[in-house]
Amino acid sequence: MYIILWFFLIICVIPHNAFAIPKTIAKIVQTFEGKHKKKKANPKAKLNKANDKCKDALPIDTSASPTGDAEEAPVVVPEQVSEEAPKNEPASVSSEASSSANAVEGTPNAVEGTPNAVEGAPNAVEDAPQNEPTKAEQARLGIDKAIKDRKLVKHPATWYYRGVIYDQLLREQITSQAAPDLLNEALAAYEEAKKLSVLSSQFHSFALGNIAALWNYYLEKGIAYSLQESFDQAVDHFAVCRRIIPEEPTPLLYTAIVYHNNDKPEEALRYYSDYLQDKGSVQNKEAYPAVFRAMADIQYNKLKKFDEAITLLDTTLVTFPLHNELLEEKLLIYKDANKIEEYEASLATVVSNKNKEVESCYAYAYFLENQGRIEEAISYYQQILKLKPNQHNTLRQMGLLFYNEAIKAYAIVQKLDGQIKQLGTGGGITEDLWSLIGVNVKQPFSYPLGTALTEKIVMYSVHPFFSSTTFVVHDGPLMQSSGIGNLRISDRIKADSLDDTSTLYRYIAKKIAVELLCYNRVQTIIELERFLAKSLHYLEMAYMQNKKDKTITQALYYNYFYLKKYGSAKRMLSIMQRQKQYVSQEDDPFFTEK
C-alpha cells in the first residue's frame, strides 16, 4: 500500500518534463538524422572478426578483448517522446524517424564501431551538393548554440546528443586535421552527459555505450592498419584507445605486438611489461603465457640473451605449470642454441629423484614426445596419471598424442596404397592370365625389396596342367611339399640358376612384394584403429573437465567419426556448431582428395 502511495506521489509531484528531451534538442536531432540512415552494426562482432585476421599475422595469441563497461555497454538511444505528450523517460525524436537515425536508434549506430567513411556506409557528404553543409554540420551549429542556453546546458540530453553529433563528424573527417578536436569534443560531451545524469539513467548508460563503441572503432582501425603494416598509424590509434578508456589495457598489448612485428624489440618489451603490470589485464590472465612467450622470443632471437630468455620462461612456468606453449618455446630456444643435450640432461636429473614432481615429469614427457621418442613419453605421462588420475593437461596431451599417431598411421596406409597400386599395374611384366602363380604371407617378416630371390624363404610346388603354382612365404626354414614331383623350376631357384632378369623371376618378386605390402597395410590399419581408440579414451576424460577446448572437441569429433560412432559424432558436431566452431574437409587430417 505504501509503495503504491509513494509511486502515486512521484507521478503527481514530479513534472513530466523532468525526464523528457527538450523540444529544441529533439528538433536538432531531427536535423541530424536526415542523411544518416545506415544498417545496424555489431561492434563486438566487427572487433572479433578483425582480431581473427590479426591473429594470423601477429606473433602471439591476441584474443584479449575489452572488458567491463568498455565492451558490454549497450549502444542504444533513448526512446522518443512526442512534443504533444512528453513521457517519463528521456527520448529523442519520432519512432518513424528513429528507424533511420543513428542518434535515435542507438545513436551510436554511427558509433557502433563501423566507420562510415572507411567501410562504405552511407555518408552525408557524398549526397550533399558541394559547399552545402551536411546534416551533421547543420546539427552541430544547433547543438553548439544549445549549450549556451542556461537551461539546456544543464540537461543531459543536450550533452549526450552533442557527443553523438561530434562522434559522427569525427567518423566523417577521421583522416582530417580536425579529427583530434572532434574527438575531444565528443568525449567531453559524453562525460558531461554522464555527470548530469543519474548513474542508472538511460543517458548515463547510453553515453557509456557510445564511448565503448568509439573505443572499438579506434581499436579496429588500429588492427586494420597493423595488418596493412602501417605501423605508425596503428600505434596512434591504439594510443587514442588508451585516451578513451584508460583503464582498458588491451591497446597496450596490441601496441606491443605492432612493435614486435616492426622489429623494435625494446619498445615491444616495454609495452608487454606495461600490459602485464596493468590491473585491468588480470581479467584476461589466459593471455599471460602468450605474452611471456613473446617476451622470451624477443630476449633470445632479437636481443641474443639466452640466459634471460630461459630464466623468464622458468619463472613463468612456476606460475603456469604444464603449459605447452612455454615448454615449446623453451625447447626451441635450447635447440636453436645447440644445447638440446644439456636440456635433456637437466630434465632427466630432476625426474630421476624419488620425490619427482608432476611438473618435471610432464616437462620431460613433452620433451621426449617432441623428439619423436613416443614410447618413452607415454611411460612418463602414465606415471603422472598414476599420481594424479584426473590431471587435465596430461589426459589432454595423451589423447592428442595418440590422435597424432593415428594421423601418422593413416599417412602410412595412404603411402602403402600408392605402392600397391603402382606394383599392381603391368610395368612391362607379362600378366599371369591363368593365375598359375599365387603368393600369400603366413607370418610377418622383414622383406627388403631388390635382394636376390634365393635369399627369401620360398616353397615352390607344381601341379602340371590343371593345378595352380603357389609361392608361400614363411618365417622359417625352407620347406618342400611332399608328394609333388617335377620341381624343375624350384630346383633352379634353389640352385640360384634362375636368371634374375627373366620375366618369371621379376613377376614372382613383384607378386611377393605386393602381398607383403598388403599385409603391412592391414597391420597398419589395425594400429590406426588402436591409436584412435586410445585417443578417444583420454580425450573423453579431458573433455569432461573442459568442454570449451576447441582442440579437444574437434579431435573427439573425428575420433567418433572414423571409429564409426556416428551418433556420438553427430552430437559432438551439434555441440561444436552451438559454440560457433565449424569444420570442413580441409580441417580433416584423414581426408585425402581422390
Give 458-495 pLDDT, tens digit per residue: 333 333 333 444 444 333 333 344 333 333 444 445 55
Query: Whole-angstrom Cα distance, residue 22 to residue 29?
Result: 11
* In contact, 78 and 206? CB cutoff 8 Å: yes
Q: Which three cell numbers stand for residue 449?
A: 625389396
pLDDT at 315 over 70: yes
DSSP structure class, residue 147: T
Confidence label for 499 from pLDDT (cuts 50, 70 and 90): low
Q: Name the amino acid, one letter, at 506.
A: R
Full strand arrangement of the beta sheet holding 437-441 = 437-441, 469-473, 458-461
Confidence (pLDDT) at 30: 64
CA angle 182/187/190 to nearest 5° reads 125
- Terminal Cα distance for the chain, rounded: 79
Q: What is the pLDDT of residues 216-256, one digit of tens each?
A: 999 999 999 999 999 999 999 999 999 999 999 999 999 99
* In contact, 490 and 462? CB cutoff 8 Å: yes
Class (C level, CATH) for 234-320: mainly alpha
* In contact, 479 and 459? CB cutoff 8 Å: yes
* In contact, 174 and 117? CB cutoff 8 Å: yes
CA dihedral 21, 23, 25, 28 (to 10 degrees): 140
Confidence label for 92 from pLDDT (cuts 50, 70 and 90): very low
What would the mean pLDDT of 29-52 be, rounded to a whole number? 50
Query: Whole-angstrom Cα distance, residue 262 to residue 561?
Result: 44
Query: In terms of Cα–Cα distance, which of 121, 125, 77, 83 is closest to 101?
Result: 77
Residue 523, helix vs strand vs coil: helix
Query: Could you tell me where in the chain the CATH 1.25.40 domains are found?
Result: 234-320
* In contact, 385 and 394? CB cutoff 8 Å: yes
Q: What is the pLDDT of residues 138-155, one digit of tens each?
A: 777 777 777 677 777 778
pLDDT at 577 over 90: yes
Burial 407-433 (b: 16+ CB within 10 A, else e): bebbeebeebeeebeebeeeeebeeee
Count how many Cα atoms sit within 13 Å of the Cα of residue 268 in the half-sphere of its side chain.
24
Confidence (pLDDT) at 157: 80
Q: Which pairs count as long-range contacts for 149-153, CB under 8 Å and 24+ apart, including other chains?
A: 149/24, 151/22, 152/22, 152/24, 152/25
Confidence (pLDDT) at 593: 58
Q: What is the pTM of this model?
A: 0.67
Confidence label for 24 from pLDDT (cuts 50, 70 and 90): low
Q: What is the pLDDT of residues 319-349, one digit of tens each?
A: 999 999 999 999 999 999 999 999 999 999 9
Q: What sign does the CA torsion over 267, 272, 277, 283 have?
A: positive
DSSP structure class, residue 472: E
Instruction: Of 93-97, 206-210, 309-313, 404-408, give the lowest mean pLDDT range.
Output: 93-97
Q: Which three cell numbers stand for residue 403?
A: 590422435
Query: Whole-angstrom Cα distance, residue 203 to residue 90?
Result: 8
